[in-house]
A and B are shown apart, each in its own frame.
Chain A
Amino acid sequence: MDIRMSLAIMAGKLTRFAIKMIGRSASSFPGGVALKLCPDLLRRMQLPKKTVAVTGSNGKTTTTQMIYAAAREAGIDLICNTEGSNQIQGVTAMFLQHCTLGGKVKADMALIESDERFCQYTFKQFAPDYMVITNLYRDQMTRNGHSEFVRKELAKGIPADTTLIINADEPVSASLAAHRKAIRYGLSADIFPEKEGTGHAYHDGAYCPVCYAEMTYNSRVFSHVGDYKCPSCGFARGTVDHEITAVKDGVFILDHVHAVTPQMCNSNFAYNIAAAYTTLVKAFDFAPEKAAAALDHFIIRGDRLHEFNLNGHRGLFTLTKHENSMAYNAALSELNTVKEATLVLIVDQLSRKYVANDMSWLWDIDFEPAAAEGVKRVIVSGQFAYDLAVRLAFAGIQDERLTVEPDLDNMMTDLKENAVGDIYVMTCFTDVGKFTSRLKEVQA
């Protein structure tokens, strides 16, 4: 009997019980307690027969939700770190919740959403059978440096026996598949084609992520994502195992055959669907038609998208990610088709843990949709409102449409009294409560 392991498990379970008794979230702390007592706990436990990990800069939570819902609906005995924490403490907490004191996890499969940089710690003790890597974009540069650094850190966390499920269209993450077992997914070139010459704030695909020679593209979906090839070393998108081959009347067609009606008909959501579909087919042994049916009409839960009403104006709140240009770009692209709207951008705090002042990430975002004719007003608010205002001036937003109001209370008053058309609010989880609490007050 492994006494140390059992004591650690007991301590973790008791910690979870105590935290839950006082009504708090126990998504990671119990795991931290158990790991302090037994650092190689996960190596000692009897984990489920099959484990699938999901990681990447953007889309891992949505992709994980999709896979989890489909698998559970199909009756698979699956556990997942759905409570949110995707670092080793959270993964451990998930296993603790479902295991005996003898360390046997009572589930056939585990689905683990993992932070990209923490894979090297979490998967030091056990190897997931499959690892889905959605993409590696510029994300939280203060913490992560840049996508190549994250790629290097993530590479340390991919065990030799793990099969990757990789987004072939995204070259930085796709380069991890070299010399590894990999299943590839993507989008066909002509379904969300980007117009030739479309400008972006930056181009992370201009140079090959393998040999740093100049890279070429046959087509792009957006930014550096698309059908690329390096003429020097041959690194290329190549063929894929599964892809979205068409979009017809707002419906995605997978592998020429299977239809999925998406919650949002855009390329970002398409990649989430393609990732989930490929994982269900390859890692969960779903028949392709069954995987497509499971994903059909899938709705994202939680606070990422939230509709509200303010003084007769319809509002849509989108949770983006500060320091993540792709998340902002996806949200902002919706503005291209609005008829009459007020856009609110709130940047008040980058991190709850440390002082962070770096606004360079604003210049990675394609803010030009905010200058669309239908966007009648743009309000920038929070501590970094002036930095936002400078950025927007260089994205073509005329001064007469722009209101700079750092004070969040004043912003909300202005929004309530002077919004024009629909209201689009974009901010990050560090600032979301500041908006929603004020919204509740003015709605009351």
Chain B
Amino acid sequence: MIRIVHAYPDLLNLYGGDADLRLLKAYLEAVGEEVSVEPLTVDAVSSADLIYFGAGTENKMLAAAKKLIPLRDALLAYHEVGKPLLFIGSSSALPMQTIIGLDGKEMLGLGLVEGRAKLHEKRNYTEVLADCPFGEHPVVGSYNSSLEIQTQEPAFLRIVFDSEKKAGDIEGICKNGLVATQVAAPLLVRNPGLLDHYADLLAGRQLPDPNVAWYRRAWMGYVCAVDILKNAMHK
């Protein structure tokens, strides 16, 4: 049984909500695995194979940060052994040491990685095409955020195209099984190469038959999305 823990699905439910996990579960079942998706508790952390935090509004992300305080030790222990954690969108703030709100007040993050997250008034929306360490396919998506991450940790993405940053800039964190990125779209739905990666990680294998209809169409959707961005790059 592969145990996926989904943190606060009614709090962190923007930009696709549980879509990433629905596809990942379907993928893992298609390769013959039994999969459960469970809520986040201290007990669930210890037996989890993957813990997922979706995107939320800024206030809901801060509410999630408060709820996580009693789970800090359990999550730190989980992370220290390199088990996978995935933080999407504004929940990229949660693994940091501190989170600074719009009022300038600091609050504790999970302290899983070095650095801090800072909320700003201004929101940025941008389409993104970026290289990532998992596989040969670039990641495509968008971020829709007012969050700034300040860290020296290894990056998750290296930007190829983004209307805000320069090519070569970096985004997100990828360290010891932890991935935090503000790119949503949703992330795994838009990037089936990442579904392949997590399936490998969790089940040790990928879909043998790419003719699973939804999976094939996800790739076709991905190709269209990449083409759209590449055309925009060259304008």
Q: Is the CB of B140 within 8 A of A390?
A: no
* CB-CB nearest in chain A for B226: A357
**In the complex, A143 has a CB within 8 A of chain B:** yes
Cα(A389)–Cα(B217), bound, Å? 7
- Within 8 Å by CB of A358, from B23, B57, B62, B185, lies B185
Question: Which residues of chain B have C-beta atoms less than 8 A from A390's C-beta?
Answer: 23, 189, 214, 217-218, 221
Q: Is the CB of B58 within 8 A of A363?
A: no
**In the complex, B77 has a CB within 8 A of chain A:** no
Binary interface profile of B, 187-219, with partner A (CB < 8 Å = 1, else 0)?
Answer: 001100000000000000000000001100110
**In the complex, B11 has a CB within 8 A of chain A:** yes
Q: Which segment, of B12-20, B38-46, B106-114, faces chain A? A: B12-20
Cα(A387)–Cα(B17), bound, Å? 16
A405 to chain B, nearest CB (A): 12
Q: Which residues B164-206 have CB closer than 8 A to chain A?
A: 184-186, 189-190
| Given A357-B228, A363-B186, A363-B189: A142 and B144 interface contact (C-beta under 8 Å) | yes
Q: Is the CB of B15 within 8 A of A358?
A: yes
Q: Is the CB of B15 within 8 A of A389?
A: no
**In the complex, B105 has a CB within 8 A of chain A:** no
**In the complex, B220 has a CB within 8 A of chain A:** yes
| Given A143-B125, A145-B144, A212-B60: A386 and B14 interface contact (C-beta under 8 Å) | no
Q: Is the CB of A356 within 8 A of B214?
A: no
B23 to chain A, nearest CB (A): 7
Binary interface profile of B, 1-41, with partner A (CB < 8 Å = 1, else 0)?
Answer: 00000000011011111110011001000000000000000
**In the complex, B127 has a CB within 8 A of chain A:** yes
* CB-CB nearest in chain B for A203: B10
Question: Which residues of chain A have C-beta atoms less than 8 A from B92's C-beta?
Answer: none
Give the residue among B13, B26, B229 with the most A Cβ atoms within 10 A. B13
Q: Is the CB of B220 within 8 A of A386?
A: yes
A114 to chain B, nearest CB (A): 20
- Interface size band for A: 20 to 34
Give the residue among A207, A358, A389, A394 with the most B Cβ atoms within 10 A. A358
Question: Which residues of chain A have C-beta atoms less than 8 A from B232's C-beta?
Answer: 355
Binary interface profile of A, 373-394, with partner B (CB < 8 Å = 1, else 0)?
Answer: 0000000000110110110011
- Within 8 Å by CB of A141, from B15, B127, B189, B190, lies B15
* CB-CB nearest in chain B for A200: B17
Q: Is the CB of A386 within 8 A of B16?
A: no
| Given A357-B228, A390-B189: A149 and B221 interface contact (C-beta under 8 Å) | no
**In the complex, B63 has a CB within 8 A of chain A:** yes
15 additional contacts (CB under 8 A) given A149-B58, A357-B140, A363-B189: A202-B10, A203-B13, A204-B13, A212-B62, A357-B141, A357-B229, A359-B221, A360-B16, A360-B186, A363-B17, A364-B17, A384-B221, A384-B224, A394-B22, A399-B213
